[in-house]
A and B are shown apart, each in its own frame.
Chain A
């Protein structure tokens, strides 16, 4: 696909690669987080266990829980991660699996 002419390459949709778009997405994300917490002021909640009645409980759960899971996975990774050829089977097969597009059919 590298033989496209320059005009077409310029037209390519690359919105997500632009730094300005990334900044905007970051703002939207922070905004959505803030909005979800602020919305709780206007909601009557029905906690089942007590602890889930704390203000912003689900935000905390999401934040702390996910951070903990990522950190734990990172530690686990130190223990279980291996090179791709650990089992000695990281082979490029001679057989081209027929379900990879060879450009002959659409």
Chain B
């Protein structure tokens, strides 16, 4: 039993979920990830049982357990348990079944030791997550899910092409760290496939496009797994790949810019994921033990506080049916607990001292200091300040304060509050006692977040960011707008492509149909009816002239000939003569 890949537990759970009803199902959904968490804690380090694959390949390795995979396994199952507690009110099984498959596949990626197993789980993740989005059952959700799955199929194909190239050149299907010095097209393609899921620049729009269209619980569950699985694969496969530093920095800043422009609260949080994942991608690029450990710690804490933020946004959406900042505001009066918990999440994501962000994200920043990467350090510090702007203040401010729009929704249901309470506790607990987290990191961390100097500098950074927010508040007034992202290229591009194809291909089709079916066949019919006689008549004219016939007689004979040809009524002699001539022509053509 201890050798069982955790993914199978959740797949089996998905089947059982379909059989259960009502409260029993909801309890089962919470209990299953808790059990999976315990199961992961019992897994012994090393490789599990292997499965024989094709004759020329190494055996598949569906269960590789080390500190890195365990750390991600813990947070994935922990988050799932709390997310299903939050989702206790959901009556239908559909999205939960797909969510379990999705989370199971994410665990599958985390624990797979070879590229083939990883790829299969990767695609299961893409498809099951698309169904989690579809489960909201609105037209917008269905359209977004369609775009989402297309992007992920594209990413999956990049990954597959990379795996095929890498395996055929190296002969090994093992998934270990690739050497930057030996980078080749195969490894670059694998990296690109991973980066699509990490929401790297140019490939990030799927996230901000699709997650906010998912249901309250769907968005919550999605926010944790796809990008963090991608972070895991980068930490495992591409530590020290320098371009990742640049990509990470761009993501960190890009996320802030768009989150500042955004009006929809869940889209603000979606862009904020891109910003946060940027830190982790950057850490993978730095590649030192400290950076890797920092990225794992950050991913762990990030999943907790980002889920907490999605939960508070979800509770607001659940009670009000609205998610635009321009329609929300003043909710602190009737949803104080949701505000409190959301606020704790907001403080944690901003790395305020005594929260988990302060003890995790700052490890990555310290890693840039140790490696003396000035620009990376500067951008990450700047991005840290920006996080406080968009997620730390903007989100709670516009949702819970700002202008009272006369809404008096009830406080969130109790199960939602319990879920948020648990995550809030974790945010603070890991901020005060980070050692529990440091102990499960892949490398020992010799890092002390709580120095007086660090506290002072962090408070300066955050307080002055807050000051800027409120000084610039008139400039940050929300407008009922959307912001164009790279999905413009395939949304507008897709429409344009459709129109161009419609005009060009259908145009060609019509023209060809007209030419062939109408004109050419008619011409051909006329040709075969009259042409032989016309040609023959033309040939006979000199002969008739030699015979001394007048022009009138010639015309008469020619007309007669054509008439006969049309009716096909030649005397036998002429028919035979024509046949001989035809044969002669064919013979001549053949000779030539």
Interface residues of A (CB under 8 A from B): 1-2, 4, 12-14, 16-17, 26, 29-30, 32-33, 36-37, 39-40, 43-46, 48-49, 56-63, 65-67, 69-74, 76-77, 80-84, 86-87, 89, 91, 93, 95, 97-101, 105-106
Contact = CB atoms under 8 A, between A and B. Distances in A.
B261 A63 contact: no
Contact of A69 (B89, B90, B257): B257
A12 B408 CA distance: 11
B147 to A, nearest CB: 10
A29 B457 contact: no
Given A40-B456, A49-B377, A97-B137, A69 B382 contact: yes
B148 interface: no
A16 B332 contact: yes
Contact of B381 (A26, A61, A99, A100): A61
Nearest to B469: A66
Given A65-B382, A74-B475, A84-B480, A99 B461 contact: no
Main secondary structure of the interface of B (DSSP, over half): helix
Of listed A62, A65, A76, residue having the most chain B CB within 10 A: A62
A86 B495 CA distance: 13
Contact of B463 (A1, A62, A67): A62
Nearest to A34: B463
Tier of interface size on chain B: 35 or more
Of listed B333, B458, B464, B469, residue having the most chain A CB within 10 A: B464
Given A73-B260, A97-B215, A66 B460 contact: no
A93 B484 CA distance: 23
Given A36-B456, A99-B90, A99-B136, A86 B482 contact: yes
A54 to B, nearest CB: 11
A69 B92 CA distance: 43
Nearest to A100: B321
13 contacts: A36-B456, A37-B460, A39-B456, A58-B460, A59-B464, A62-B460, A67-B472, A77-B483, A82-B481, A95-B137, A100-B317, A101-B319, A106-B414
Contacts, number: 193
A77 B453 CA distance: 37
Contacts of A70: 260, 389, 468, 472, 475-476
Nearest to A76: B257
A72 B482 CA distance: 17
B260 A91 contact: no
B140 A29 contact: no
A10 B335 CA distance: 17
Contact of B139 (A40, A72, A82, A93): A93
Interface string B381-418: 11001100100000000000100100011100110000
A96 B319 CA distance: 13
A39 B353 CA distance: 15
Contacts of B91: 98
A36 B460 contact: yes
Given A69-B256, A86-B482, A62 B140 contact: no
A84 B481 contact: yes
Contacts of A45: 453, 457
Contact of A98 (B92, B140, B468): B92
A67 B461 CA distance: 13
Given A58-B460, A73-B257, A44 B137 contact: no
Interface in B310-342: 317-319, 321, 330, 332-334, 336
A83 B263 CA distance: 11
Given A17-B404, A97-B215, A100-B318, A29 B463 contact: yes
Contacts of A98: 90-92, 137, 215
Interface of B: 89-92, 136-141, 143, 215-218, 253, 256-257, 260-261, 317-319, 321, 330, 332-334, 336, 369-370, 372, 374, 377, 381-382, 385-386, 389, 401, 404, 408-410, 413-414, 452-453, 456-470, 472, 475-476, 479-485, 491-492
A106 to B, nearest CB: 6
B457 A58 contact: yes
B322 to A, nearest CB: 9
A66 B453 contact: no
A26 B470 CA distance: 9
A87 B491 contact: yes
Contacts of A63: 464-465, 467-468
Contact of A99 (B216, B257, B414, B484): B216
Contacts of B389: 66, 69-70
Nearest to A91: B139
A89 B139 CA distance: 9
Contact of B261 (A13, A26, A73, A84): A73
A62 B462 contact: yes
A7 B332 CA distance: 19
Contacts of B463: 29, 32-33, 36, 59, 62
B495 to A, nearest CB: 9
B386 A65 contact: yes
Given A36-B459, A58-B457, A81 B479 contact: yes
Contact of A59 (B136, B138, B460, B480): B460
A12 B406 CA distance: 12
A22 to B, nearest CB: 10
A89 B140 contact: yes
Contacts of B462: 62
